Structure formats: C-alpha cells, structure tokens
A and B are shown apart, each in its own frame.
Chain A
Amino acid sequence: MRELGTDAENTWCPGCGNFGILRAVKKAAGLLDASAFDLDTLVMSSGIGCHGKIFDYLDLSGVYSLHGRAIATVTGMKMANPLLHPLAFVGDGDAYGEGLAHLLFAAKRNMDITVLVHDNGVYGLTTGQFTPTTERGVTTRSSPHGNVEEPFNPLLLMLDAGASFVARGYPGKLDHLADLIARAIEHVGFSFIDVLQPCVTFHDTYEEYNRRVEVLDATLNMAGARELALQHDALHIGVFYHETAVPYHERLLGDFNPVEDAPSRDERLAAVEDLSR
C-alpha cells in the first residue's frame, strides 16, 4: 500500500485532535487496502477551517472545497462517476452551520458518500467563536457572556434526516475510530461519523471526553439509537444505526455511469438528431 502522507508542513496546534483523525484515516486506508478495496477510488473533499488542512496532509485525490460546500462537491463526484468512493471532511461550523442543507439532503437522498465531521464545538481557524454544537453558556470571543443558543444534536439530526449509517468516534480511541471510518467508507449509501475532536487552544475537551466516552458494543434499532443519542452523562462512540438501502445514484441512474458509460460522439449526435426533428 502507498503511503498517504505528503510533504506539506503540518500547521495544526501541537496536541490538536485533528492529528488523531489524520492517523485514523491512514489506518482506515490500511484496513481497506487489506480487504481488497481499490484505494485509487477513494477521493476526498474538505471544507474550510482547521479540519480542512487535512486536504494537504493526505495523499489522496480530491477538491479542497469552500466553507460548507464539501458535501455538495463530493455529491458531484459521485454523480459523475459512481465508481468513486468520496469522503468529505467537514467541520461543525462548516457542516452544521454554513452547509447544513447539503448535509441534510445528502442523508435524505442516501447519497453514497462518507461524511466525517471534525466536531470541536468551536471555530478554531477564525480564533474562537461559538458554533452550532457549542453548549449553551460557553464563553467564546463572539459569546463573551455565554452562548445563548442550544446546540444541535448531530446524531439525532442525521437519524431524522434518513442517514443509513450514523456513528460517533473519538480520536482518543484511535483503532476504534479507524475501524469506524473503514466501515463508513465501505457502507453502501450515506454514512456519517461525528468525531468528538478536542481543540487544545480554544475548547480543550480531552479530559472531559476521556471521562465520558464509552465504547458502544450493542447493535441498536432506530428507537435505541435515538435514546442513546439523547444521553448526556455518557458519550457513546460506535455505530448508532445502520440499514441497507438503495443509494440515490442507483435509484436515479440504475447502473448507468455518466462518465464511464458516456455515449460516443456518433451515438450522442444521433440522439440529438432524433430529438430535434
């Protein structure tokens, strides 16, 4: 298997939770490679924010997209060439704020992509503002008297939107996270992993997560998944819910691949002639 690192200088803060995510992705790629998965079909996109820098650190083909738009970008990749396995790295401000519609609709459609949210509850790259997942009362530079909004519950949001694979991971449990990522990529349909990511500079949650995180070892149905997603004391990591469902591109296109099965010029011109009579 080829190395997935690049020569780009890593500029995450020392101790950043993103390092664990990066290691877990590389490890997941190793697991996939060992299971005869063609890593050349794994393509990526990322939004804008600290998480997005992973684009430069992973030797994978892809598009460094806009803030909030990586899910739309990878949807386009999948709809052009369904042989590709797109993986979108997004932030919590990115996916739950700026680009929420794209996330909800990708889940609703069962778009065959994987979305990995670097959920640190803070805008890091813009130096510390509250995000859609910041707890109420948290003081940030844009909420100096405490955040007055209730946070989203990402897992509930995704369960309600119709996601067919919903998971939560934690880079402090590296092998567990690597396994989740590999399973999410292999899942046929929309897969979602909310990754609890400590931000050592603006929202350091290592101690809290190390205390509260519990590995989930049961298989849950929808009701069980919802119940566990609502729990406040323990933060469970693992696959909350998964089901088998036909992905969007198959429902729309059958087995037609717009790029690989594109008609020849002669075939296309004949079709145009037919339609313009």
Chain B
Amino acid sequence: MSQVFTFLVGGKAGQGVRSAGSTAASVFNDMGRAVFQMDDYPSLIRGGHNFSVVSTSPAEISSHYLEAQLVVALDQRSYDRHNGHLDDDGVMVHDADVDGDGVSLPITEKAEEYERPDLISGVASIASLCAAIGMTPARLETVVRRAYSSHVEDNLSYAMAIYEAADDEIGGRFSLETGDHRGGALLTGNQAIALGAASAGLNNYFAYPMTPATSILHFLAGHARDLGIAVMQPENEIAAANMAIGAAFAGSRVMVASSGGGYALMEEAFSMAGMVEAPVLFVLSMRPGPSTGVPTYTGQGDLDMALHQGHGEFPRIVASPGGIGEAFSLAGELLSMVWRFQTPGVLLTEKHCSESAMNVSLDPGAVPWAEPEMHPGGGYGRYRLTDTGVSPLLFPPSGQTVKWNSYECDENGITTEDADTIAVMHDKRQRKQQALREHLRDMATVNVHGDAGPVIATYGSTTLSVLEALRHGGLDARVVQPVYLEPFPSWELDGYDDVVVVEQSAAGSFEQLLREKTGVSVAAHVRRYDGRPFAPAALAAELEGVLP
C-alpha cells in the first residue's frame, strides 16, 4: 500500500477535471509507473460534480483507490465530498474560495486573469501535483505544452503561477520512485477495443451514440483515415446493426457497439445475423439498468441479455475482458472468431472497463487477422451443407449469385417452408454450435490468477477490482475468471468448491450462470450494484470476512 500514490481532482463539469486526470496519468506513465485512472461524472455537460482519480504504483496496479495522498478540490462541493478521502499523510489542496482546512491556493483568482477562467482551472491541479511530487518547472512546462496545446501560453503562465504558490506549501512533499512499465500505452478500455478490432482487420464501424460505448465511436471516427476504416453514425441502433449485416454481406469486417438500451434495439438484427450467418461483432458496454438507468456509471446487469438476446435458436459467442489489455486482444480474437464461425459475437464489458484508463503493453502482431473461408470454385450455394456447419463465403461482385436469407432457406438461399429442409438447416446451425464449442476447448477461455488459496470467481473488469483488493489486503486466493461466457467453458471449471463469487449485479446473474453450467459450490458472494466500481480497501475487508 505504501507504494501506491493516489491523486484525485474534483470540480464542476467544464472545469477540465477529466483532462487533468488524463494528464496526471501520463505524468506517472512517463515515470514508468503503473497507472489506473477512473473518472466519475454525472450525466450532464456543465456544473454538477466530476472527479477523476489516478492511482499509481511502481509495481502492478489494477484499480483506483479512494484514499488519496493528494486531493485538489476546485470547488466547495469537491472539498466537502473528498475531505474524508484523504489518506493519513494526505494533502488537501483547494481553491482559496473554499471554506475548509488544507492548502489554500488562488486557483480561481489567478484563473480570472485569463480569457477562459473556467476551462483553465484544471491546469491548476496539474501544477499542484507537479510541485507536490518535486518536479521542476521545466518538466511542468513540457507536461503542459503536451497536454494543453490550445491556448498553450495562457495555460503555461497560469500553471507556473499556481506551481510557485504550491511549491512554497507542499513542494517535494511526496517522492515517487520510477518504475519499469516504460513503453506501455495509456489507453481506456474503449480505445483498446477499437485498436484490437482494428488489429484483426476491421473495415466498417457503425454506431449511434450511447454512454458508455460512445468513446469507441469518437476514437474510430477520429482515426478512421489513419486506420483505413469507414465510420458511420446512422439514424439509430436498429440501422447500425442492419447496416452491419449489409456490410458483412459485401465482405466487410464490421463491428457495432452500444449500451443496454441501444443493444436492445439491435435484438431483431442480432437474431437475423444468427439466421443469415453474418459475421458481426457487437460490443455491449454495460451501465446500471433497467431502462435508462444510470447512464454514466457501471454495472454488470446485462449478462443475461448478452447470453439470451434474440429470438430463435442459433450459435453465438459471448466473451468479457478482465481488463484493458484483454479488451484489446479479445476484441481482435472475437472479430476473427465471428468470421471463422459466421455467427454474431458479443464483447461484453462495463463502463468501468470502457472508460477507465491503464498503461498496458499491446501486441498487435499477436491478434489473429479475421479471414473468411472462401468458396473454392464451382457452382455456389451460400448455405452449402458441411461437416462443421460453416459454409464457404463469396462476396459480390463475384459472377455468382450470393443470397443471404432471413427466412429459413435452402442451400442456395431460396426461401423454404419444406419440413425436411427446415430440420436440415437447424442441424447445420447446431453443428456449427458444436464446432464452436470444440474450437473453444483448444483455446484459453478461463484465466486463473494465483495458484493457491481459496477460490474467487468473477468476470469482466470486476476482475481488476478483485486483484487489487487481494494485493491491498495481502490476501491469498485464486481468482478464476471465465473470459468466454457462451459457449460456457464448463470443462475448465471442474474441481472448484466453496467459491466466493464477486460481481456487480443485484440479482447475481454470474453466480446463477456458474450454478447452471458447472458443478462448483458457492460458499458466499460479494455484490455491488450502486453504479460504483468496487474500492480495493472495502472489497479486501469484505473478502476477508467471507473467504473460507
């Protein structure tokens, strides 16, 4: 714990809190330290209360901490809210207008000397941080020039003024050693998903905005030309999913993304992708539901939806990354898998993974390139019967007729109501399901972290919280994390008993899945469903109480 340093900046939306968090994360990243950044923000554009918390360690770290060494409160609400979050040796820096104890700096007063006083005040938190960790003014200048390049001279002069004031009070208060994480990329989960899919050959991306999936759209739209990807924002999620099927028909590796509500609108197309055998990757980034729920917070309440959405019976692939590095590799792996098996796949994640940032090492060369099995020649039938149930593909214009059909159809794609053909085609899709299951048996489908101690079962980014809680509490446990959730790798889960299940679901949908699909016995569970990710210290205490 003593190795971990946490910086927390709070203020109103519009004060640059999130970019201050990102800038702090890059400062720590430059020092070779491991970083975890979590942004907490309400669903509004101006006002309210935002905070960004960045925890860093010279060794591993996989969660933010709420017990901060340095808090910068840009307004009274942030002071009141986070004063109790100070670590024992923590320092509270606040604006001079704030009524309270701690180090008072002229954050607002100095900001008013510039054109955009509200927007600039986030820079004060970076200046305070740099002073507190003993960075030189020259180093601060480098940081500001890189992170705040628009109106850079204003930002720089403001930063220096705050730095001087902070340096007198808290200069060099904390000494942070460098680490060996150099070369890692500082990425959010959504950036990792976008880059992972790109590494597998993504050609088209269709998405309608919905938090917390939206930043995939922002990232891909921003880099569409660098990557050679067509990015389109259509009229709604129904259009996005149906366009994706049309694009796949034309030979495009394609992905769509949304959160629960938008994903629900894609349900009809999801079933169609199963029927026409369209390789489409769907990303479902969960926020608390039901319905509109809590848009900018986290949860794992849509597991059942991912596993069961879509009318009719057809194969699907559902998998959930246990962190940001895995979000990258899994997005690529899933895009390749949906191409191999020509059926829809779901990358299931959460706001906590999508929008938190870590520095991770990526290996794009290890991502499998999505390659279709192409028709070898001769007369073509789209749904030709094969042993694996997977029929070779052909894309127009090809000189042959390629018919994808949402009705039940014959091998050539012509609609049928013939009883024998209906059954034969169901058998074909079931063979595909079987082939998919066999394929998964040869893949790494479950991560096991640690090799001794009682067993904790979890999935998704809750894995990150659990691992940090174990580090924090010095607890011994094995963490069993199924990455693939459908087909469910039951064969990997034999022999685990008295398991403690940790998840962010009120009903315990992951625990129910484990009970349904495996013989493991569940000793206890820890659930959090208030929209907030687990905090390591509190989770460690809870685990200590329930681990056998």
Contact = CB atoms under 8 A, between A and B. Distances in A.
Interface of A: 6-8, 38, 40-41, 43, 45, 48, 53, 55-56, 59-66, 69, 72-81, 83-84, 86, 101-102, 104-105, 252-253, 256, 258-259, 261-263, 265, 267-269, 271-277
B272 A61 contact: no
A103 B155 CA distance: 48
B405 interface: yes
A252 B232 contact: yes
Contacts, number: 196
Which 4 residue pairs of A and B lie closest in terms of their CB atoms, listed nearest first? A76-B246, A76-B243, A80-B252, A72-B242
Contacts of A60: 401
Nearest to B183: A277
A63 B275 CA distance: 11
By secondary structure, the B interface counts as mixed
Which of B223, B362, B403 is most buried by chain A, counting CB atoms within 10 A of its CB? Answer: B403
Contacts of B401: 59-61
Contacts of B223: 271, 275
A6 B414 CA distance: 9
Which of B187, B234, B402 is most buried by chain A, counting CB atoms within 10 A of its CB? Answer: B234
Interface in B239-292: 239, 242-252, 254, 268-269, 272, 276
Given A40-B398, A102-B239, A76 B201 contact: no
A262 B395 CA distance: 15
A86 B397 CA distance: 11
A102 B235 contact: yes
Nearest to A69: B242
5 contacts: A73-B245, A79-B246, A81-B396, A101-B238, A276-B195
Contact of A101 (B203, B235, B364): B235
B249 A76 contact: yes
Nearest to A6: B414
B477 interface: no
Nearest to B272: A66
Interface string B193-206: 00100110101101
B161 interface: no
B451 interface: no
Which of B238, B249, B269 is most buried by chain A, counting CB atoms within 10 A of its CB? Answer: B249
B293 interface: no
B420 interface: no
A75 B396 contact: no
B228 A261 contact: yes
A240 B208 CA distance: 33
A204 B236 CA distance: 36
A63 B246 contact: yes
Contacts of B399: 40
B327 to A, nearest CB: 12
B415 A268 contact: no
Given A61-B398, A69-B242, A74-B246, 7 more contacts: A55-B415, A75-B234, A79-B232, A252-B230, A261-B228, A267-B228, A272-B227
Q: Could you say which interface size class chain B belongs to?
A: 35 or more
Which of A43, A75, A263, A272 is most buried by chain B, counting CB atoms within 10 A of its CB? Answer: A272
Contact of B228 (A74, A104, A263): A263
A176 to B, nearest CB: 28
B254 A80 contact: yes
Given A61-B402, A77-B247, A276-B364, A262 B201 contact: yes
B187 A80 contact: no
B250 A55 contact: no
Contacts of A269: 199, 364-365
B228 A73 contact: no
Contacts of A76: 204, 206, 242-250, 252, 254
B246 A72 contact: yes
A77 B248 CA distance: 8
A249 B147 CA distance: 34
A80 B404 contact: no
Contacts of B230: 79-80, 252-253, 256, 258
B198 A272 contact: yes
Contacts of B228: 256, 258, 261-263, 267-268, 271
A274 B198 CA distance: 12
A253 B365 CA distance: 27
Contacts of B396: 40-41, 43, 61, 81, 84
Given A66-B268, A268-B227, A276-B185, A80 B247 contact: yes
Which of B206, B362, B396, B399 is most buried by chain A, counting CB atoms within 10 A of its CB? Answer: B396
A73 B403 CA distance: 13
Contacts of A48: 406
Contact of B250 (A6, A7, A56, A81): A81
Given A61-B401, A66-B268, A73 B195 contact: no
B158 interface: no
A68 B415 CA distance: 18
Given A80-B254, A268-B228, A66 B236 contact: no
A105 B232 CA distance: 13
B406 A41 contact: no
Contacts of A84: 250, 396-397
A17 B377 CA distance: 38
Contacts of B245: 63, 65, 73, 76
Nearest to B249: A63
Contacts of A253: 230
Which of A38, A40, A80, A86 is most buried by chain B, counting CB atoms within 10 A of its CB? Answer: A80
B239 A105 contact: yes
Contacts of B494: none
Which of B195, B230, B365, B405 is most buried by chain A, counting CB atoms within 10 A of its CB? Answer: B230
Contacts of B406: 48, 63-66
Given A253-B230, A269-B364, A77 B198 contact: no
Given A256-B230, A271-B226, A101 B269 contact: no
A56 to B, nearest CB: 5
